[in-house]
Amino acid sequence: MDVGLEPACVNVCPTEAIISGDLDQKDSKISNLVSRQQVTTRKPEKGTRPKLFYIEGDDVSLKPLETEQSSKSLWGSQSAGVGHFSGKETSYSLGFESSNNNSGEYNNSTGEKSVQKLISSKSGLSGGARPAKRVYDSPSKGILWGWEVAGYILTKALSAGILGLPLLLNEFGLINLTSQTIWIISLVSLFFLGATGILLIMDLDQPTRFLYVLFRPHWKSWLVKGGYTISVFGGLVTLLGGAHLLGYGEWVNWLTWPILLFSILLSIYTAFLFSQAKGRDFWQSPLLILHMLLHAVVGGSALILIVGLFWEPIHSMMPYIQNILIGGLVVQILSLAAELITPHPTVDSHRTVKIITKGVFKSEFWGGVVLIGSLIPFLMLISSFTPMILAFAGLLALIGIWFSVRIWVIAPQMIPLS
């Protein structure tokens, strides 16, 4: 713009349907058009740039949820995960389910009735009015963040929780950790941290360039900040475990609080990463930070209960860990209720809640997260002190976390953005 060049789309348009310019110049053509014509924008609350205005634009053309999604249109058929996004197609790709013949085409998984109901309630369609249909659509990209992202959220939560909780109890004088216990749980923490790194690299478009994240960082990205958080946490845990293994544990007692701080950062930084995806309204919830922290508390305590079934040296902390898990499950249930029951400010986030509670994820959410992952282990924990029962309750809690993470990652991506 400063050197007199215009976007390519402006130059190639033969009808001059696209106008570009400087809105701050009051005498410019685009400034006059915006001030004199009836213009609309897509999601102005997002504050996106560059600023794009549509003259006499209507909701059907600008809002994806105002039209039905279908696997076939007038001039083509829809598919998912094509081109650069090949391999990203799943049965949940942007609200489409795999067809029965497995041909790669997709059908509307949320159903025509639910779409029509949503549109009718918003735009006032009455009687037998039907929502507009798409006659042409670009290929859907598929679910870009899939099981790898869900997996590394779980593994980093386990890495932070299995070490952070015992260190916290030890710091408050509730238990007395031996050097052997510290270096062994440090080793377990590093194992899950390594799994986190592997899954994170697998999710990158160019896995061979993963070192660019650290060596050529873009500091506004929470992917970079998360990468350094993982690195610092791993270094501190290695130093702590190595010192206790070699008999120099008293020299590194000062590492406890830095490790606790970075264990919290490790567990919650993905919430900030998700919030940078401004197009996904459900990920903008402030409760997402609490959900991530609870994954570390519930997951770490559940894993300790499972390990305690086979390793006697940590039996002294089991009553405390049991109570922590009980409290974590209670807060988890309350936070889920707060997230899904309270009204959401946007149509996209409200639609995501419907997908979770009444749509394709309803069985996984109510059965996996609420029943198997929360209520059943809670009842088992408050009624028994048997190691076998506690370990089984911990296993169920971990299953619940997996379902929860998977749903929270995939469901918001099923809302079409275009």
Q: How far apart are the C-alpha atoms of 273 and 276, rounded to whole Å?
A: 5
The 8-class DSSP code of residue 309 comes to T
- In the numeric block, the tokens 């197609």 are attached to 89
85-118 tens-digit pLDDT: 555 555 554 444 433 333 333 333 333 344 344 3
Contact between 163 and 264 (Cβ < 8 Å): no
Longest dimension (CA), the chain: 79
SS3 51: coil
Alpha-helical regions (H) of 65-178: 112-123, 147-171
Q: What is the mean pLDDT of the chain?
A: 81
SS3 365: helix
Q: How far apart are the C-alpha atoms of 67 and 124, rounded to whole Å?
A: 14
* CA distance to 95, 115, 285, 315, per residue, from 110 (Å): 7, 7, 23, 48
Q: How far apart are the C-alpha atoms of 315 and 304, rounded to whole Å?
A: 10
Please report the pLDDT score of residue 3 as a whole number: 67
Q: How far apart are the C-alpha atoms of 181 and 183, rounded to whole Å?
A: 6
Rg (CA), the chain: 25
Strand partners, 77: 72
Please say if the pLDDT value at position 204 is more than 90.
no
Nearest to 98 by CA among 134, 142, 68: 142
Q: How far apart are the C-alpha atoms of 398 and 405, rounded to whole Å?
A: 11
Please report the pLDDT score of residue 79 as a whole number: 57
Residue type, position 151, single letter: G
pLDDT mean over 3-13: 77
The Cβ-side half-sphere exposure at 185, using a 13 Å CA radius, reads 25
Please report the pLDDT score of residue 120 as a whole number: 39
208-267 tens-digit pLDDT: 777 887 888 888 888 889 999 999 999 999 999 999 998 888 888 899 999 999 999 999
The 8-class DSSP code of residue 343 comes to P
Q: Which tokens in the block code for residue 2?
A: 């400063």
Q: How far apart are the C-alpha atoms of 35 and 355, rounded to whole Å?
A: 40
Contact between 339 and 352 (Cβ < 8 Å): no
Contact between 109 and 99 (Cβ < 8 Å): no
Residue type, position 377, single letter: P
Q: How far apart are the C-alpha atoms of 58 and 111, rounded to whole Å?
A: 24
Burial class of residue 401 in the structure, from the number of CB atoms within 10 Å of its CB (0-12 exposed, 13-18 middle, 19+ buried): buried
Please say if the pLDDT value at position 26 is more than 90.
no
Please report the pLDDT score of residue 116 as a whole number: 40
Please report the pLDDT score of residue 366 as a whole number: 95
Highest mean pLDDT of the ranges 43-47, 184-188, 307-311 = 184-188
Q: How many CB atoms lie within 10 A of CB 120?
A: 15
The Cβ-side half-sphere exposure at 69, using a 13 Å CA radius, reads 28
Query: Dihedral of CA 293/298/300/301: which sign?
Result: positive
pLDDT band at 1 (very low <50, low <70, confident <90, very high): low
- In the numeric block, the tokens 């215009």 are attached to 6
pLDDT mean over 11-36: 80
Strand partners, 140: 80
* pLDDT cut 70: percent of the chain above it: 79
Highest mean pLDDT of the ranges 72-81, 96-105, 117-126 = 72-81
Highest mean pLDDT of the ranges 4-13, 121-130, 201-210, 214-223 = 214-223
Domains with residue ranges and CATH for the chain: 8-60 (no CATH), 64-133 (no CATH), 147-414 (1.20.1630.10)
The answer to whether the predicted template modeling score (pTM) of the entire model surpasses 0.75 is yes
pLDDT mean over 9-24: 79
The 8-class DSSP code of residue 50 comes to S
The 8-class DSSP code of residue 371 comes to I
Strand partners, 96: 108
Q: Which residues contact 50 (CB under 8 A, 6 or more apart)?
A: none
Q: How far apart are the C-alpha atoms of 355 and 353, rounded to whole Å?
A: 5
